[in-house]
Structure 1
Amino acid sequence: MKLDRLKLSIEEVPFKKSLSFVPLINKLKEQKKINGSLDIQGESILKLVEEKPELASADFDVNDVNRFKDEIHILMGYFFTPVQYREEIGVAATPFDDQNFYFTPKYLELYGNENLVVEMVEQKEQDKCFKTFSMLFYAYSMILKRYYNFELGIGYLFMYKVTDKLNELVKYYKLEVEKSCIDITYTGNLPELSEDQLHKMINNPLDMDFWLETLPIDKFKFSGFLSFRYVDVSQIEVISSLKSQLLEKSSIIKRNNFNQLEQNIRSLLELPNLKLGIIAFGMNEGNVENPSDFWHGFLSADRFSCEDYRGTIYEEVGIQGMPVLINDLSKRENPNQVEKALLDEGIRNIAVVPLYNEDELVGVMELGSNKAYDITFSNLRVIKDIIPVFSIAIQRTSEELQNKIEAIIKEECTAIHPSVEWRFARAASNLLLKKESGEPSQMEEIVFPHVYPLYGAIDVRHSSVIRNQTIQDDLLEQLDLVRNVVLSVNEVKEMPIYDQLIYKIDYFKDGIKKGLSSGDEMNVLNFIRHDIEPLFPHFEENGQMVKIAIQNYKNNIDPDLNIVYKRRKDFEDSLGIINDCVTTYLEKEEEKAQTMFPHYFEKYRTDGVEHNIYIGESIANNLNFDRIYLKNLRLWQLIVSAELARKAENLKKSLPIPMDTTGLILVHSQPLAIRFRQDEKKFDVDGAYNIRYEIVKKRIDKAKIKGTNERLTQPGMLAIIFSQEKEIAEYQRYLEYLISAGYFEDQIEYHTLEDLQGVYGLRAIRVKVKDGKEKDVLKLAEDLKIEN
């Protein structure tokens, strides 16, 4: 339990408490009254109390414990049998106090061994506070049950970690409390406790000050004693810890993390000499392979090739898929060079365990010891529950290593945009100098401050709707084709099962016609592949007409995808043609625009093409920036957007599926900073304030005109979104010029937009793109005289 929210302003419990054996004596007397007799232990206790009436005192003096040491041992025999007394860690104490008056030998060994470190789990800094809280919690549980008929299930609150300083093995113990020998009395009137108050207490378990205020317990008295048992839960806790560790990133890559895993395995199996190894290991056509180059084994990866592991216990594990245990490697007949090398490393006892992920061998775990017969199959049964987690960890690690390899390839081989190459070259040079001088080195942050962003998008209108419709059309056609097959065979030989198949086909058709839901496509294809297509060989025995229907079905099925892929292909082809056209033209014009002033440019394809531009002095190496270049680039973007709209409209007639496009530009006048993100190998805006720009970009494509249900973006029109009034005036001048140049119709619409999630007060201009011939975009932009 974490204590960061614990509220407790007192250091000692506020109620009275006293040591007394009366509750135990009364309990035994009650049992004898009910049953007529007691066992030998119970009878001996009652006889002892008759002989020593001081033991029946309501307030037994703790100082008298030593005087009655033997008698108290007999009394405690009711809770600790002779075997338990010898073998268990136990103690008895006054109620809710630290005054222990009875101990088992194992308890004294635990706290008397200077080589053992005992600490409360997760409560190292707040032991006293947590103890007081726990005592109060236990006390309240007893009060609520006794006086308010409410059972407060609390499990256990105390967990102890015991570390052996000599071998660093760890054991965990939970503290079980026996509360049956406690009497509770109350002075005065019992406080009332409403159901609402009780619920508030239960809902605020860490606010013990609130509990004390709601139900004061200073008038209660607890008489009797508590007994405690330390229950070994090491296996449960260590396995839990291992699972948590293995689910973390780099759990088996970093040496410190791996050492902790090894130490936990040692504690789990109680083998201080144990060594742990993990290898990404697989079998490919009967051959040993190391697919991801991850190797954390007993022998270094470069010592032997995969071929050298043929005929070893490792190959045996890979072939059999079962653990292999060698009790004494030194006694193995005809050991190969790998096994000899293991002996040279001090490994005499070794177990190799296969690691599978989704029925695929992804690696092996090595457990080794310098002592023969140290590891047993019983040990392997103990760790069987964490083997799947090791498998996941090595699979994830292999994938991470593969990703790093791919990242290096991208880092070394992927071209950086020419406008910023100089900055990366400078950073790489600085890194190289630091490495050569032996200084701690890493790639420096690459940030371009005070740059102006431009964003634009050409999007396919209703692309998701069209995509779903093409999937519906293809599925319906495939169902019609397969229905014709079943009908043809049913005409030759009527059978009820064929009627049932036709009913199922019609059921799927009706559902798809109403609309495509999640999972519909997979359900239909699974039905066809598993319930109908396997029957084709049987169907073909029913004559030529059936064979023709089956062949017609096969002729309409895509041979690679094994589905009807017509309308979907038309959609993907149409979308690809539009995007290719937009991308080609955008890249050609952008290359020309770089001659105006260097700027960073990137594009990415979705169901359309979006582009980002950043311009400013920090990007242009050794060039002076002037806002004239920003205005020129804004005008260039408007002209390019108009030309793209024209091209998309002209393409429409030649597309397999005619599709409309929409144009969108976002204007942002405030400069921002962009930072190169090493993890994603791309530039992103930097700083919390600038993040708003990215949020707006992601949400404006769904923007609607205020007071209507009309989308701002419409086919054949260009929408320009603003957040500041002065931006509108600037773009109005550009549009007036472009209207006169024949790019747009002579009608500018001004709109206020509905608020979006986290985005408010946006304004927009919308203009209709005019048909016309392609012009020299760069010349138009440069010829226009723009005032600063």
Structure 2
Amino acid sequence: MKPNLKLSISEIPFKSNLSFLPLIKRLEQEIKNDNVYSAQARFILSQIKDYPVFLKESISPKELAKYDKQVRILMSFIYSPLELETTMSGTAAPLDDKAFFQSTLNKELAADETKSLIMIDDFNDDKCMLLFSKLMYAYSIILKEFYHSDINIDYFIRYRLDNKLNGLVNYYKFDLDSTYIDIKYKGQLTELSENDIKKLIDNPLNMDLWLETLPLDQFEFSGFTKYKYIDVTHLEVISSLKTDLLEKSSIIKPLNFKNLEQNIRSLFSNPQLRLGIMALNIKNGVVQNRTDFWHGLLGSSDFNCCDYENSIYEEALRTKLPVIINDLSNHKNIGPIEKGILSKGINNIILTPLIFEDQPIGILEIGSPNAYDIKFTKLRTIKDLMPVFSIALMRSSNELQTKVQATIKEECTAIHPSVEWRFEDAAHNLLQQRVTDENAKMEEIVFDEVHPLYGAIDIRNSSQERNHSIQCDLLEQLNLAKKVFIEAYRLKKMPIYDQVIYKIEEYSKSIEKGLSSGDESNILNFIQEHIDPLFLHLNFKDEQLEEAISKYEKSLDPDLKMVYKCRKDFEDSLAMINSCVIKYLDKEQEKAQHMYPHYFEKYRTDGVEHNIYIGEAITKEQSYNPMYLKNLRLWQLIITCEMSRKTAKLKASLPVPLDTTALILVHSQKLSIRFRQDEKKFDVDGAYNIRYEIVKKRIDKAVIKGTNERLTQPGKISIIFSQGNEMFEYQRYLEYLISKGYFENKIENLVLEDLQGVYGLRALRVTIKKGENEPKDITELAQEIELDN
């Protein structure tokens, strides 16, 4: 907001004289009053009686340079010695910026290059507001003196004091005292009615109106003005914090949070303070983080919510009261969290619970490296800010949660785009129902009469490979630990060392032949409870022992504290295969949606499985034709072949050379799928349809009847059926794809052994040809083998 100054004035248009006559009159009056100030007044006048310069109606500031002592004596009537030492103040001619007398702090500030006092409010460029505020101050004196109207105007200018050494900022309000100003007017004093004065007050920014109504060149100001910088840091910082906290992302963005921390430092006048905020709460007696919002003094990667249980944080949340630890190093209960705080160099901490609707939703942390830095008296300083911090945390947490949910929806929701229309319809229906029934619930979402397709790329012997990797890591860790205690026993014949060596050998023998259920947890418990504690006492100065300990410790994963080499290789290999399959599957699936919209989902196991459902119920507008199912079945065969080829090529670059197998299940009967609200996923619906799910779970273990040979083999695709007519359809597909170079020229027709609860299954199996084909458009392929006949 800027005033309207049309009159292009660059300086105050009235006469201003520096004079001590108003002060001298006051001193003479005090002598006449014969009160407690009389003696001081008499002394001051006696000190200046021989200096006529002080009796002049107008004095040049330069003249006063010779009379520094006398000026100080005169100023002693309006300044106490304490005020001169502790305040930023001075005196100048009426409404002038240049002081002829200043307090000690003012002088020190002017000489201190590490501090800068600057005017704020964005008026510096044209000094418009500075001029405006002086004019209004002059008019307030005139209205009070001649028209008995006290508009009680506050001085508009504020200043900011920046400390370049520690970054602290203080704010000051500029205050003026007009006690020692006399006003005279020339000629006839303008008469103003009550309405005239109201008109002026109603138009405070219209300087044209003010200057025309009361021309300032008719007035003369004589005397001096006392000014003072009044510290309003508390009010300004509180106001700034509230404004910042109400801004969007006020505590999410690092820069915004840094500004909040700097304001807190200024509020407490402590440049070393640290600020933290966490969305912690207690539910069912357990410390939780409801939204994953974490901007605390301790990082979320270092500690989990459970670590905060039985800590000073839980105490603050449970009692809903601030917790103040003046000297954390001497605290009686120091747990992992308290140690973590101390490791950050914080020894004095205040934890204030953030409350929303009478429930704790988070913690505000303020910490300092110095004990007793933040005392309980400071709590009042931030009490008024707690509701705003709570609102900011709640809003930021909700914003973060919304973003997380949006990401989940984009990346891994079961609500596939092909069926999203159905959920939108259900939501619209629900909103309409709640107009009349607030307890209305969302309708069931079911797709009837859809055809299922199922396929899987699995890791061959994944369980054995995983167990073998765990076995190798455990044996290596036991062997390295054994070497340590052999060296320790060599140095000191303690029976405990020999007993540990014996147990290590026993465990090693037990898992050398293979890993049984429970072996891993038993060995890790033995290491944690019996080996690791002994390491703390192996402080012998011996080169061989130190080398054995070093080899043991270097072999451990820094996070898991165990040997994690072979298993990491296996897990990395598994992840690389799955990523390769998923990337290809996602790309091709996107193309397949253009053929005919269908529901698609994939999920990782020790490999990648996918489900497809196609039918008229899935689409909103497009009519269904059986050709689309045939097209999709052919597409599934082609991409399964390509995924198998890609994983075979990837094998040579894997840390552990894993093989993959490929499987397709053909189910000719239509079924229904229902969205389960509790699990947020689709499942088959009805007792008969559930048999399809049972078959899916068991066929990967299927073997060829009369043999021990597993149906699924590396380099081959197995297609399982329960009805003969399906086999003829797929035989046509395979014959065509053999002609196109996808498979070897041999189709195995196999009968499978019965599985638990599953009987009469048959299978076709083909060997994948090496190399890659460039698949034609799926419609062209369909036409080539006349799928529409």
For residues 116 and 162 of structure 2, the distance between their equivalents in structure 1, rounded to whole angstroms, comes to 5
- 2:572 corresponding residue in structure 1: none
For residues 198 and 417 of structure 1, the distance between their equivalents in structure 2, rounded to whole angstroms, comes to 73
Query: How large is the Cα RMSD of the aligned pairs?
Result: 3.5
Any conservation in 2 of the 1:9–1:209 contact (CA below 8 Å)?
A: no
| Pairwise CA distance, 1:208 | 1.8
| Pairwise CA distance, 1:332 | 3.4
- 1:399 corresponding residue in structure 2: 398
Alignment map for 1:242-257 (pairs within 5 Å): 242-257=241-256
For residues 386 and 199 of structure 1, the distance between their equivalents in structure 2, rounded to whole angstroms, comes to 39
Seen in structure 2, the aligned counterparts of structure 1 residues 8 and 352 have a Cα distance that, compared at 3 Å, is: farther
- 1:77 corresponding residue in structure 2: 76
| Pairwise CA distance, 1:127 | 6.4
| Pairwise CA distance, 1:346 | 1.9
Unaligned runs of 5+ in 2: 422-427, 445-593, 598-619, 621-789
| Pairwise CA distance, 1:17 | 1.0
**For residues 673-717 of structure 1, what are the alpha-carbon distances to aligned partners after superposition, in whole Å with 9 as ceiling and x for unaligned?**
xxxxxxxxxxxxxxxxxxxxxxxxxxxxxxxxxxxxxxxxxxxxx
For residues 333 and 215 of structure 2, the distance between their equivalents in structure 1, rounded to whole angstroms, comes to 78
Given residue 403 of structure 2, which amino acid in structure 1 is its aligned partner? K
Given residue 77 of structure 1, which amino acid in structure 2 is its aligned partner? S
**For residues 152-196 of structure 1, what are the alpha-carbon distances to aligned partners after superposition, in whole Å with 9 as ceiling and x for unaligned?**
221231211101011110111111111011111111112233444
- Alignment partner of 1:322 is 2:326: no
Alignment map for 1:548-587 (pairs within 5 Å): none
- Alignment partner of 1:210 is 2:227: no
- Alignment partner of 1:267 is 2:266: yes
Any conservation in 2 of the 1:8–1:133 contact (CA below 8 Å)?
A: no
| Pairwise CA distance, 1:37 | 7.3
For residues 358 and 420 of structure 2, the distance between their equivalents in structure 1, rounded to whole angstroms, comes to 49
For residues 11 and 50 of structure 1, the distance between their equivalents in structure 2, rounded to whole angstroms, comes to 39
Seen in structure 2, the aligned counterparts of structure 1 residues 93 and 409 have a Cα distance that, compared at 3 Å, is: same
Given residue 96 of structure 2, which amino acid in structure 1 is its aligned partner? D
For residues 275 and 126 of structure 1, the distance between their equivalents in structure 2, rounded to whole angstroms, comes to 35
Any conservation in 2 of the 1:282–1:289 contact (CA below 8 Å)?
A: yes
Alignment map for 1:292-441 (pairs within 5 Å): 292-333=291-332, 335-412=334-411, 413=413, 416=417
- 1:763 corresponding residue in structure 2: none
Seen in structure 2, the aligned counterparts of structure 1 residues 572 and 310 have a Cα distance that, compared at 3 Å, is: closer
| Pairwise CA distance, 1:298 | 1.2
| Pairwise CA distance, 1:302 | 2.3
For residues 283 and 329 of structure 1, the distance between their equivalents in structure 2, rounded to whole angstroms, comes to 23
Seen in structure 2, the aligned counterparts of structure 1 residues 243 and 249 have a Cα distance that, compared at 3 Å, is: same
| Pairwise CA distance, 1:14 | 0.9
Seen in structure 2, the aligned counterparts of structure 1 residues 363 and 78 have a Cα distance that, compared at 3 Å, is: same
Seen in structure 2, the aligned counterparts of structure 1 residues 5 and 280 have a Cα distance that, compared at 3 Å, is: farther
| Pairwise CA distance, 1:39 | 3.4
- Alignment partner of 1:282 is 2:297: no
For residues 3 and 180 of structure 2, the distance between their equivalents in structure 1, rounded to whole angstroms, comes to 33
- 2:94 corresponding residue in structure 1: 95
Partner of 2:59, secondary structure, is coil
| Pairwise CA distance, 1:342 | 2.0
| Pairwise CA distance, 1:35 | 5.4
For residues 293 and 207 of structure 2, the distance between their equivalents in structure 1, rounded to whole angstroms, comes to 51
| Pairwise CA distance, 1:43 | 2.3
Seen in structure 2, the aligned counterparts of structure 1 residues 29 and 139 have a Cα distance that, compared at 3 Å, is: same
Partner of 2:142, secondary structure, is helix
| Pairwise CA distance, 1:4 | 7.0
Alignment map for 1:651-662 (pairs within 5 Å): none
Seen in structure 2, the aligned counterparts of structure 1 residues 56 and 110 have a Cα distance that, compared at 3 Å, is: same
Partner of 2:29, secondary structure, is helix
- 1:57 corresponding residue in structure 2: 56
For residues 126 and 313 of structure 2, the distance between their equivalents in structure 1, rounded to whole angstroms, comes to 49
| Pairwise CA distance, 1:280 | 0.4
For residues 253 and 322 of structure 2, the distance between their equivalents in structure 1, rounded to whole angstroms, comes to 26
For normalisation by structure 2, the TM-score amounts to: 0.52
For residues 312 and 343 of structure 1, the distance between their equivalents in structure 2, rounded to whole angstroms, comes to 13
| Pairwise CA distance, 1:419 | 12
Given residue 116 of structure 2, which amino acid in structure 1 is its aligned partner? V
For residues 395 and 304 of structure 2, the distance between their equivalents in structure 1, rounded to whole angstroms, comes to 24
Any conservation in 1 of the 2:316–2:322 contact (CA below 8 Å)?
A: yes
Seen in structure 2, the aligned counterparts of structure 1 residues 51 and 336 have a Cα distance that, compared at 3 Å, is: same
Partner of 1:73, secondary structure, is helix
Partner of 2:166, secondary structure, is coil
**For residues 552-585 of structure 1, what are the alpha-carbon distances to aligned partners after superposition, in whole Å with 9 as ceiling and x for unaligned?**
xxxxxxxxxxxxxxxx66x999xx99x99xxxxx
For residues 338 and 92 of structure 2, the distance between their equivalents in structure 1, rounded to whole angstroms, comes to 57
| Pairwise CA distance, 1:93 | 0.1
For residues 17 and 106 of structure 2, the distance between their equivalents in structure 1, rounded to whole angstroms, comes to 23
- Alignment partner of 1:145 is 2:144: yes
| Pairwise CA distance, 1:245 | 0.9
Partner of 2:318, secondary structure, is helix
Alignment map for 1:103-118 (pairs within 5 Å): 103-118=102-117
Any conservation in 1 of the 2:3–2:205 contact (CA below 8 Å)?
A: no
Any conservation in 1 of the 2:3–2:207 contact (CA below 8 Å)?
A: no
- Alignment partner of 1:176 is 2:175: yes
**For residues 273-296 of structure 1, what are the alpha-carbon distances to aligned partners after superposition, in whole Å with 9 as ceiling and x for unaligned?**
111000001011221111111100
| Pairwise CA distance, 1:344 | 2.1
- 1:129 corresponding residue in structure 2: 128
**For residues 447-471 of structure 1, what are the alpha-carbon distances to aligned partners after superposition, in whole Å with 9 as ceiling and x for unaligned?**
xxxxxxxxxx99x9xx99x98xxxx
Seen in structure 2, the aligned counterparts of structure 1 residues 36 and 377 have a Cα distance that, compared at 3 Å, is: closer
- 2:226 corresponding residue in structure 1: 227
For residues 169 and 205 of structure 1, the distance between their equivalents in structure 2, rounded to whole angstroms, comes to 35
- 2:239 corresponding residue in structure 1: 240
Seen in structure 2, the aligned counterparts of structure 1 residues 319 and 572 have a Cα distance that, compared at 3 Å, is: closer
Given residue 288 of structure 1, which amino acid in structure 2 is its aligned partner? V
| Pairwise CA distance, 1:229 | 1.1
For residues 419 and 341 of structure 1, the distance between their equivalents in structure 2, rounded to whole angstroms, comes to 47
For residues 420 and 380 of structure 2, the distance between their equivalents in structure 1, rounded to whole angstroms, comes to 61
For normalisation by structure 1, the TM-score amounts to: 0.52
For residues 160 and 36 of structure 1, the distance between their equivalents in structure 2, rounded to whole angstroms, comes to 39
Any conservation in 2 of the 1:169–1:263 contact (CA below 8 Å)?
A: yes
| Pairwise CA distance, 1:42 | 2.1
**For residues 43-66 of structure 1, what are the alpha-carbon distances to aligned partners after superposition, in whole Å with 9 as ceiling and x for unaligned?**
223333434333111112322111
Report percent identity of matched pairs.
44
- Greater CA deviation, 332-341 or 185-194? 332-341
Any conservation in 2 of the 1:120–1:127 contact (CA below 8 Å)?
A: no
Any conservation in 1 of the 2:3–2:206 contact (CA below 8 Å)?
A: no
For residues 327 and 382 of structure 2, the distance between their equivalents in structure 1, rounded to whole angstroms, comes to 21
Any conservation in 2 of the 1:18–1:59 contact (CA below 8 Å)?
A: yes
| Pairwise CA distance, 1:69 | 1.1
**For residues 460-488 of structure 1, what are the alpha-carbon distances to aligned partners after superposition, in whole Å with 9 as ceiling and x for unaligned?**
9xx99x98xxxxxxxxxxxxxxxxxxxxx
Given residue 23 of structure 2, which amino acid in structure 1 is its aligned partner? L
Any conservation in 2 of the 1:90–1:230 contact (CA below 8 Å)?
A: yes
Given residue 334 of structure 2, which amino acid in structure 1 is its aligned partner? P
Given residue 335 of structure 1, which amino acid in structure 2 is its aligned partner? I
Unaligned runs of 5+ in 1: 421-456, 468-567, 581-594, 599-612, 614-788
Partner of 1:308, secondary structure, is helix
Any conservation in 2 of the 1:251–1:393 contact (CA below 8 Å)?
A: yes
For residues 400 and 204 of structure 1, the distance between their equivalents in structure 2, rounded to whole angstroms, comes to 44
| Pairwise CA distance, 1:418 | 9.1
Seen in structure 2, the aligned counterparts of structure 1 residues 126 and 41 have a Cα distance that, compared at 3 Å, is: farther
Partner of 1:407, secondary structure, is helix
For residues 420 and 91 of structure 2, the distance between their equivalents in structure 1, rounded to whole angstroms, comes to 77
Equivalent residues, number: 443
Any conservation in 2 of the 1:92–1:103 contact (CA below 8 Å)?
A: yes
Partner of 1:375, secondary structure, is coil
For residues 42 and 191 of structure 2, the distance between their equivalents in structure 1, rounded to whole angstroms, comes to 41
| Pairwise CA distance, 1:23 | 0.9
